Amino acid sequence: MSSITLIGTGNMARAIGTLAVAGGNTVEVMGRDQAKADDLAKALGGGTTTGEWGAVPAGDIVITALLYDGVVPVVAQYGDALAGKVIVDISNPFNATFDGLAHSEETSVAQEAAKVAPAGASVVKAFNTIFRNVLENGRPNVFMAGDSGQAKADVATFVESLGLRPLDVGGLKMAHWLEGMGLVTVGLAQEGVGHWDFALGVDEFAG
Ligand SMILES: NC(=O)c1ccc[n+]([C@@H]2O[C@H](COP(=O)([O-])OP(=O)(O)OC[C@H]3O[C@@H](n4cnc5c(N)ncnc54)[C@H](OP(=O)(O)O)[C@@H]3O)[C@@H](O)[C@H]2O)c1
C-alpha cells in the first residue's frame, strides 16, 4: 500500500481520496484553506489526516489536485518540502474555449512543475484524462508519463490499489500529449460520445 498526500481539497481530491482510502492507503490532505482540508479528511475517514499548508507532506506520493495554474506556483512554494517525493500532476490546462491548451508551447504543466521541483523529486502526469464522475463510478485506465521508472512504478502500485489499470505512455515530455488527450476527451463528451460517463482506454486485439 502507498502513503499519499493530496494537496487540494476539491472534487478530484475527494474522488481520488475516496478510492485511496478504500484501497487501504494512508492518506493526508493539505489545503490552503485549513477548514476545507479538515472537512475533507473527516469525510474521507479511514484515518485520513491533515497537514499544514507548505509543510513536508507525510505521503511519499504527493498529488497536486489543484487548478492547473496553481500547480507550478504551489510546487515552487513547497520547495524543499517536496524533496524525494513523487509529485503527481493531474491537471488539465485548457484554454477558455476548451479547444486548445493554455500554454502555446509544446510543454505541459507537469514539465513546468518539474523545473521548479527540488532535487530528488520526480514528477509524474496521471489521472488527467479521467472525469471525476468516472473515477467515482467506473474502472478507467490511468495513463501516466514521467522520466523516473521508479516513480512510475510507485504510482502504478498506487493506481492498482484503487482497482484501476496503470498504463505508462513514456517520458515526462509525453505529459503534453496526455494534456491533449484531456482535450480530446472533452471534445468526445461534447460531440461524438455526447455524455461525460466514459473514459479513454486501450483495447488490445490479438491475431
Ligand atoms: N473534475 C474533473 O473531472 C477533472 C478530471 C481530470 C482532471 N482534473 C484536473 O484536476 C484538477 C482539480 O480539479 P477539481 O475538479 O478537483 O477542481 P476544484 O474542485 O475546483 O478544486 C480545485 C482545488 O484547487 C485549489 N486551488 C486552486 N488554485 C489554487 C492555488 N493557486 N493555490 C492553492 N490551491 C489552489 C482549490 O482551493 P480552494 O478551495 O481554496 O479555492 C481547490 O482545493 C484540475 O487541474 C483539473 O483540470 C479534473
pLDDT at 121: 98
Burial (CB count <10 Å: 0-12, 13-18, 19+), residue 150: exposed
pLDDT at 144: 98
Tell whether ligand 1 has an atom less than 6 A from the beta carbon of residue 65. Answer: yes
> If you measure from the C-alpha of residue 45 to the centroid of ligand 1, how many angstroms do you get, rounded to a whole number?
21
pLDDT at 147: 98
Tell whether ligand 1 has an atom less than 6 A from the beta carbon of residue 59. Answer: no
Tell whether ligand 1 has an atom less than 6 A from the beta carbon of residue 200. Answer: no
Describe the crossing of helices 109-116 and 175-190 by its angle, rounded to 10 degrees. Answer: 150
| Nearest protein Cα to ligand 1, atom 1 | 132
> If you measure from the C-alpha of residue 7 to the centroid of ligand 1, how many angstroms do you get, rounded to a whole number?
9
pTM metric for this prediction:
0.98
Tell whether ligand 1 has an atom less than 6 A from the beta carbon of residue 36. Answer: yes
Number of helices (H), then strands (E), in the chain: 7, 8
pLDDT at 52: 98
How do residues 73-132 score in pLDDT, each as one tens digit?
999 999 999 999 999 999 999 999 999 999 988 999 999 999 999 999 999 999 999 999
| Nearest protein Cα to ligand 1, atom 32 | 70
DSSP 203: -
Residue 17 has, within 13 A of its CA and on its CB side, a CA count of 31
pLDDT (tens place) for every residue of the chain, 207 residues total: 999 999 999 999 999 999 999 999 999 999 999 999 999 999 999 999 999 999 999 999 999 999 999 999 999 999 999 999 999 999 999 999 999 999 988 999 999 999 999 999 999 999 999 999 999 999 999 999 999 999 999 999 999 999 999 999 999 999 999 999 999 999 999 999 999 999 999 999 997
Task: Classify residue 180 as left (phi > 0), alpha (psi -120 to 50) or beta.
Answer: alpha
Question: Residues 64, 75: contact at Cβ < 8 Å?
Answer: yes
pLDDT at 104: 82
Which residue is associated with the grid cell 481539497?
9
